[in-house]
Structure 1
Amino acid sequence: MYRIAMKKLLKWKESKRRKPLIIEGARQVGKTWLMKEFGQQAYSDTVYINFDSNSRMADLFASDLNTDRLIMGLELYAGRKIDPDNTLLIFDEVQEVPRALASLKYFYENAPQYHIVCAGSLLGIALHEGTSFPVGKVSFLKLYPLSFKEFLMATDKERFADLLDKQDFEMITNFKQTYIDALKQYYFVGGMPEAVQSFAEDKDFNEVRVIQKRILAAYEQDFSKHAPNEIVPKIRMLWNSIPSQLAKENKKFIYGLVREGARAKEYETAIMWLSDCGLVHKINRVNGAGLPLKAYEDLKAFKLFVLDVGLLSCMAGLRQRTLLDGNDLFVEFKGALTEQYVCQQLKTIEDLGVYYYTNDRGSCEVDFIIDTGEQVIPVEVKAEVNRRAKSLKTYREKFSPDVCVRTSMADFKREDWLINLPLYAIGTLTKFPLV
């Protein structure tokens, strides 16, 4: 299975200023597989250490963090010599031994010749809680579920993925039905590696649902096992409310939908926990359009999306026929699934700030406002071929952005101030000149 993150890992390996690398991401997005595959492709040897319930490693890192002593201990554990130039050291579930995280500072300062990558399914929480980790002494890489492009590649459509990269929209439009069919499949299957692999091999939608239910059950177990007891019920209620939150016309998160009379203060910790786990994307509202957009954030208003479109369709109980045949029952939820899909693709684009906009009266809402670092681009999402862009026009009249993007099932078209970008090509948003 091809992962775009592999390119970033290879670049990291060759970097002269290489630091120990921490891979962040939710459980089951493929972090362990990626690290091992990277070791196999780029190194002559890999030493893999899982810190979960590993008392020997806990003991090794418990005393002083002298790097020579640690390397000797790791060599004894692995049963072989560690060659700094040709061995990849993998620390998995590293949050289970916080001192192993702290040791990365000393590896960077005193033994930078060693190649170390780390990951952990609940690493985000450990870092947020102030686990002593070396600020400025490590690099980070975020891993998400497979993007639509990676899904095309995993399902034997590499040429179609390449075509999107080349942005040959004349050719793309000729084959648009292939993209539309693949997109409908992606709405159902999503990008969790196990679900994608199963679908690529067997094309069995029922088996995909079984896998997704198992993943969702594992997340629920994580709530009980790892979250503080007093917020577990709140996490559960909040997590289960997301499909109904997204099904609303206005997708702003409403605490009252979680529980009648609920207040922000009660649920802030639960949202932070889900966000630190990588299970939700919190997209904040902005009330302005200058750079950087972060300066215009309204922290009280936000939308919550889950990490994967396939998991959302599973949570909502969408059936394969409803989704793939365009059944009427699906109309209500189609906008929610489409917006979830777009959010997920935007999140995989590096160094992109993702927000949404509503004016103070609530009469104008733009689904996503993105900050590329150089320009602000409003993006309106339509589930069908809808040509209306009322909110975009209102936004443009007020803020005069260089360009606006409407993404829908319509073909690519560049008009005066508006780019119509097909939903299946939204991942290419930052790749072509938008001015």
Structure 2
Amino acid sequence: MYRTAIKQLYRWKEGRNRKPLIIQGARQVGKTWLMKQFGTEAYKDMVYINFDSNSRMAALFESDLNTDRLIMGLELYAGRKIDPDNTLLIFDEVQEVPRALSSLKYFYEDAPQYHIVCAGSLLGIALHEGTSFPVGKVDFLSLYPLSFKEFLTAVVGEQFAGLLDNQDYAMITSFRQTFADALRQYFYVGGMPEAVQNFAQEKDFNEVRKIQKRILAAYEQDFSKHAPIEIVPRIRMIWDSIPSQLARENKKFVYGLVREGARAKDYETAIMWLCDCGLVHRVGRVKGAGIPLKAYEDLKAFKLFVVDVGLLGCMAGLRQGTLLDGNDLFTEFKGALTEQYVCQQLKTIEDLGIYYYTNDRGSCEVDFIIDNGETAVPVEVKAEVNLKAKSLKTFRDRFHPVISVRTSMADYKKEDWLINLPLYAIEEIYKCIRKI
């Protein structure tokens, strides 16, 4: 499979001020595969170290963190010389040996010639718990499930993904049915690499669902194994409530749906844990449209989305037969799946702030407001071809954004103040607004 993140890895390799790189992302989104694929493509050699249950590596890093000593130990472990110019060092599950994370500071300061990439399925939690390494000594890359464009490349063909890349909307419209069919498949399969790879080879929805159930079971095992024992029940309740939270017309997270009488202070730590390990995306409400949007955020109101649309469908028990019923996919649980899908695609775009807007009376809600550092762009999500945009017009009349975006199953169209962007092209939103 092709992952667009590999381009970022090549840019990192060629960077003049290269630092050790930490890849963050939820379990099973393809971090290990990406690192090894990059090592195979871009280097003459790679040394892969998995720190999980690795007593030898734990002992190596337990002593002083002198980089010459560490390299010697890694060479002894690998059984060969490490050439700093031609070898990629991969530290996997690095959070299991916190001093290995701490060593990245010394590699950056004392031995920057070495190319080091790190990852770990619960790395975000380790970092937020205060594992010792200074800010500014490492680079970060976030990895998510396959985007729809990556799914297209794997399942339909890279030429169709190329049409989206080139924004050839005349040709895209000619092949709209191909894109629409692939989007329906993506809503069910999602972007978890194992599920996509199996579907690309076998086209077996039953097997995809089995894979998704295994992934969800692994996530729930992580709750018990890695989370503080006192918040495990709350993590489970938050996680289990997300499908019903998103099924509501107003998708703002409501603690009362988790448990009657629940209060924010009882569940904040559980939500933060889910966010830190990459399983949940928290999208905050904004009360205004100035730049930066962060300054207008209402910290008490937010939506929660899961890491992958296919996993959300599995959690909700979405039937595979829905795929065969045409537009039924967009009427059964349609709002939840469509907003989840759009959020998931927006998260893959670098340096994009993602929020949503409601006015104080609740009479106007815009599904997403994005901040590209220059302007705030409202995005209204429609599951079908319904092009009514009352909230978008209300928002425009109040805040006068340069451009607004409505995404639906309708074809691309550019109007004076509005871009109609097909759902299957939502990843191209950054290019669309950059042209304005």
Task: Give the TM-score normalised by structure 1.
Answer: 0.99
Deviation for aligned residue 1:324: 3.7
Deviation for aligned residue 1:92: 0.3
Call closer, same or farther: CA 1:324–1:343 in 2, change over 3 Å: farther
The separation in 1 between residues aligned to 2:322 and 2:346, in whole angstroms, is 26
1:301-316 map, 5 Å: 301-316=301-316
SS of residue matched to 2:431: coil
Q: What is the match of residue 15 of structure 2?
A: 15
1:234 aligns to 2:234 (yes or no): yes
1:123 aligns to 2:127 (yes or no): no
Deviation for aligned residue 1:330: 6.2
Q: What is the match of residue 197 of structure 2?
A: 197
1:268-307 map, 5 Å: 268-307=268-307
Deviation for aligned residue 1:327: 6.7
Q: What is the match of residue 424 of structure 2?
A: 424
Contact 2:60 2:70 in 1 (8 A): yes
Render the CA deviation track for 1:63-113: whole Å, top value 9, x for unaligned.
Answer: 110000000000001011000000000000000000000000000000000
CA RMSD of aligned residues (A): 1.0
Q: What is the match of residue 143 of structure 1?
A: 143
Q: What is the match of residue 217 of structure 2?
A: 217
Call closer, same or farther: CA 1:256–1:326 in 2, change over 3 Å: farther
Call closer, same or farther: CA 1:4–1:330 in 2, change over 3 Å: closer
Contact 1:224 1:232 in 2 (8 A): yes
The separation in 2 between residues aligned to 1:225 and 1:330, in whole angstroms, is 37
Deviation for aligned residue 1:322: 1.6
Contact 2:105 2:133 in 1 (8 A): yes
The separation in 2 between residues aligned to 1:326 and 1:276, in whole angstroms, is 37
Deviation for aligned residue 1:326: 4.0
1:26 aligns to 2:12 (yes or no): no
The separation in 1 between residues aligned to 2:153 and 2:381, in whole angstroms, is 25
The separation in 1 between residues aligned to 2:413 and 2:227, in whole angstroms, is 48
Aligned residue identity for 1:181: D
Contact 2:44 2:86 in 1 (8 A): yes
Render the CA deviation track for 1:298-324: whole Å, top value 9, x for unaligned.
Answer: 010000000000000000000111234
1:185 aligns to 2:181 (yes or no): no
Render the CA deviation track for 1:235-280: whole Å, top value 9, x for unaligned.
Answer: 0011010000000000000000011111101100000000000000
Call closer, same or farther: CA 1:40–1:328 in 2, change over 3 Å: closer
The separation in 1 between residues aligned to 2:133 and 2:239, in whole angstroms, is 29
Contact 2:330 2:383 in 1 (8 A): no
The separation in 2 between residues aligned to 1:300 and 1:324, in whole angstroms, is 40
Deviation for aligned residue 1:416: 1.4
Render the CA deviation track for 1:343-373: whole Å, top value 9, x for unaligned.
Answer: 0000000000000000000000000000001
Call closer, same or farther: CA 1:329–1:56 in 2, change over 3 Å: closer
Q: What is the match of residue 52 of structure 1?
A: 52
The separation in 2 between residues aligned to 1:157 and 1:371, in whole angstroms, is 31
Deviation for aligned residue 1:328: 5.2
The separation in 2 between residues aligned to 1:402 and 1:390, in whole angstroms, is 17
Contact 1:185 1:324 in 2 (8 A): no
Contact 2:20 2:116 in 1 (8 A): yes
The separation in 2 between residues aligned to 1:12 and 1:353, in whole angstroms, is 22
Q: What is the match of residue 381 of structure 1?
A: 381
Render the CA deviation track for 1:129-178: whole Å, top value 9, x for unaligned.
Answer: 10112310000000000000000011142111000111111111010000
Contact 1:84 1:114 in 2 (8 A): yes
Aligned residue identity for 2:414: R
Contact 1:45 1:87 in 2 (8 A): yes
Aligned residue identity for 1:404: S
The separation in 1 between residues aligned to 2:324 and 2:198, in whole angstroms, is 18
The separation in 1 between residues aligned to 2:387 and 2:341, in whole angstroms, is 20
1:43-82 map, 5 Å: 43-82=43-82
Unaligned ranges ≥5, structure 1: none
1:148-187 map, 5 Å: 148-187=148-187
Q: What is the match of residue 394 of structure 1?
A: 394
Aligned residue identity for 1:243: P
The separation in 1 between residues aligned to 2:185 and 2:277, in whole angstroms, is 26
Render the CA deviation track for 1:174-230: whole Å, top value 9, x for unaligned.
Answer: 100000000000000000000000000000000000000000000000000000011
The separation in 1 between residues aligned to 2:78 and 2:192, in whole angstroms, is 31
Call closer, same or farther: CA 1:404–1:324 in 2, change over 3 Å: farther
SS of residue matched to 1:23: strand
Contact 1:184 1:324 in 2 (8 A): no
Aligned residues: 435
The separation in 2 between residues aligned to 1:304 and 1:370, in whole angstroms, is 16
Aligned residue identity for 2:130: G
Contact 1:355 1:370 in 2 (8 A): yes
The separation in 1 between residues aligned to 2:299 and 2:205, in whole angstroms, is 39
Contact 1:322 1:330 in 2 (8 A): no
Contact 2:223 2:232 in 1 (8 A): yes
Deviation for aligned residue 1:9: 0.4
Aligned residue identity for 2:424: Y
SS of residue matched to 1:212: helix
1:33-48 map, 5 Å: 33-48=33-48
Aligned residue identity for 2:212: Q
SS of residue matched to 1:393: helix
Unaligned ranges ≥5, structure 2: none
Call closer, same or farther: CA 1:180–1:327 in 2, change over 3 Å: closer
Contact 1:381 1:408 in 2 (8 A): yes
The separation in 2 between residues aligned to 1:40 and 1:329, in whole angstroms, is 40
Contact 1:164 1:425 in 2 (8 A): yes
The separation in 1 between residues aligned to 2:295 and 2:267, in whole angstroms, is 24
Aligned residue identity for 2:340: Q
The separation in 1 between residues aligned to 2:250 and 2:343, in whole angstroms, is 16
Q: What is the match of residue 365 of structure 1?
A: 365
Task: Give the TM-score normalised by structure 2.
Answer: 0.99
The separation in 2 between residues aligned to 1:154 and 1:276, in whole angstroms, is 29
Aligned residue identity for 1:51: F
Deviation for aligned residue 1:337: 0.1
